[in-house]
Amino acid sequence: MSGLIVEMAAKALKLNMPLSVQLDLTYRCNERCVHCYLDHDDHGEMTTAEIKELLDQMADAGVFYLTVSGGEIMMRRDFFEILEHARLRTFCIKLKTNGVLIRKKEAQRLRELGVESVQISIYSHRSEVHDAITKLPGSFRQSIEAVRLLRKHGIHVDMANVLMIHNVHDYDGVKALAAELGSQFIIDPTITPMMDGDRSILGLNVDENTLREVFHNEALAGNVEEFCAVPQGPGQEELNSLPCSAGHTACYVSPYGDVYPCVQFPLPCGNVRRTKFVDIWRHSPQLNEVRSIRLRDMLACSQCIHGGTCTRCPGLAFLEGNMRGPSYQDCEKSYARTGIPSENLKRRKASSQHLQLVQIQALASLADNTRFLETSIAK
Amino acid sequence: MKNSRYVARSTAIAARALGDETMVMSATDSTLFTLNEIASVIWAAADGVTPLDQIVANKICTQYDITPELALTDAETLVEDLAAHGILLVSDQPVTGPANARGSTP
């Protein structure tokens, strides 16, 4: 991040301004990705007028970065009308799309509307793997064509590669494809639970060895020695630091007008159909609760060697049961990076061993005491 | 006598006030600028129809301890600089249409 952006973020934090908002226009989608965290039915999306009014309110509240996402944003027939309004209100506009519906005309219009960047998910350099993940035959060809068209019109394209068991060996291929098409390559090794808390898709996450391989790949991580170095543990500054921008300078608005701290943090904070955006931002008790989280307050994380360097996501922690508790997915990333287990991983291991003993002791009362106890102690 | 000059914010930008400063990003090349308090006053008043010397006289000289000549010289340097980055249009005539520095109309 450039110094100027860091400076702006610090100022926005001081002024309690929502510098960045992700607005999902719809959860409807023309793809059915195996790892998607959304329910694709329409449960009453905001109308065009409601979204325009919301954009006005967000501009007045100080939102600068507007990420327009979904679902598939172009499933909305009023997509360009909404985008034109966003341009009038001088947002820095970023889009997330699968690109399937982007043709010459759409690419030209996006260029005219001064979109800052477009992120397109490409799961593999092999069409059969990509299409098997999206469950939309031909989607690889269409998404790649969209990347080409957007680049031809001079639009910055981020090619996002979500890593999962289906495409575990393909990230190098996608990276090469991104370079060939003049796009930025982004890798995301985390599959998150569904918005409704359903954790069944977590089984798609790559294993520990793959994570380690990714974090130690110089082409992806840059300076591996530095990136994977053993941390020193949090200092006073880190103990008082904020976990991330969620709720501090950023938030998320769903197609139904619900406001959350982040797209990955499904804690409802209000609805713009009932309350003005700025009032939710300033006065929501839930957002204020999120704002109060500091590393020093977290029992295990504050004592963890990874405390100062971990990418702990409070949203994932919330999905795991407690926004002030551990995010084991992030603990596992820290472990894969450095080879040193986090405090939470150590405690979980100790706790599971303890539980195992209790369980076996209970069984022992029903059968051969000595044998079960010996077995449990050996584990 | 020098002709009046008119300044208009480009429509090909992202911009937002941040306290008494303004952040502006060029949609052409994503260059980010921050304008200080005085530059922000000129930016906010750059409606395309108010002459720059009037903006300086009414919005700057009335608020800040600066001579009109020096204020106008500084303002002209600022607007030329911003115009060179395509985020502001400077014209000898009032700018009434959409001010898109890239030449296309959103």
pLDDT tens profile A278-289: 999 999 999 999
pLDDT tens profile A197-253: 788 899 999 998 998 998 998 888 888 888 899 888 888 888 888 878 999 999 999
Q: What is the mean pLDDT of residues A107-129?
A: 96
A80 neighbors A97 (Cβ within 8 angstroms): no
Interface confidence (ipTM) of the complex:
0.85
A359 pLDDT band, cuts 50/70/90, is very low
Nearest to B14 by CA among B26, B29, B6, B2: B26
Percent of chain A predicted with pLDDT > 70:
93
Residue A350 has pLDDT above 90, yes or no: no
Q: What is the mean pLDDT of residues A64-77?
A: 97
Tell me the H-state helices in A199-284: 208-215, 218-221, 224-227, 236-239, 277-283
pLDDT reported for residue A241: 82
Q: What is the mean pLDDT of chain A?
A: 89
Q: Which residue of A has its CA nearest to B19?
A: A15
Contact residues, chain A, for B18 at CB < 8 Å = 8, 11-12, 15, 17, 62, 64
The neighbouring-strand residues paired with A149 are none
Cβ pair B21:A2 closer than 8 A: no
Question: What is the rounded CA–CA span in Å between residue A327 and residue A295?
Answer: 13
A358 pLDDT band, cuts 50/70/90, is very low
Q: What is the mean pLDDT of residues A335-342?
A: 92
Residue A321 has pLDDT above 70, yes or no: yes
Question: What is the rounded CA–CA span in Å between residue A19 and residue A29?
Answer: 28
Q: Which of A5, A91, A114 sits opposite B106 (nearest CB)?
A: A114
Question: What is the rounded CA–CA span in Å between residue B101 and residue A112?
Answer: 12
Per the structure block, which two tokens stand in for B106? 């959103």
pLDDT reported for residue A299: 86
pLDDT reported for residue A126: 97
Closest Cα of chain A to B1: distance in Å? Answer: 36
A305 neighbors A289 (Cβ within 8 angstroms): no
* Chain A residues bordering chain B (beta-carbon distance below 8 Å): 2, 4-5, 7-8, 11-12, 15, 17, 59, 62-64, 84, 87-88, 90-93, 112-117, 156
pLDDT tens profile A137-166: 999 999 999 999 999 999 999 999 999 999
pLDDT tens profile A78-113: 999 999 999 999 999 999 999 999 999 999 999 999
pLDDT reported for residue A168: 92
The helix/strand/coil state of A94 is strand
pTM across the whole model: 0.88
Mutate: best of A57, A112, A156, partner B, most B CBs <10 A:
A112
Cβ pair A59:B16 closer than 8 A: yes
Cβ pair B18:A15 closer than 8 A: yes
A161 neighbors A174 (Cβ within 8 angstroms): yes
Our CA dihedral for B19, A260, A50, A88, rounded to 10 degrees, sits at 40
Q: Does B36 touch chain A (CB under 8 A)?
A: no
Q: Which residue of A has its CA nearest to B104?
A: A112
Contact residues, chain A, for B105 at CB < 8 Å = 112
Contact residues, chain A, for B13 at CB < 8 Å = 90, 114
Cβ pair A116:B30 closer than 8 A: yes
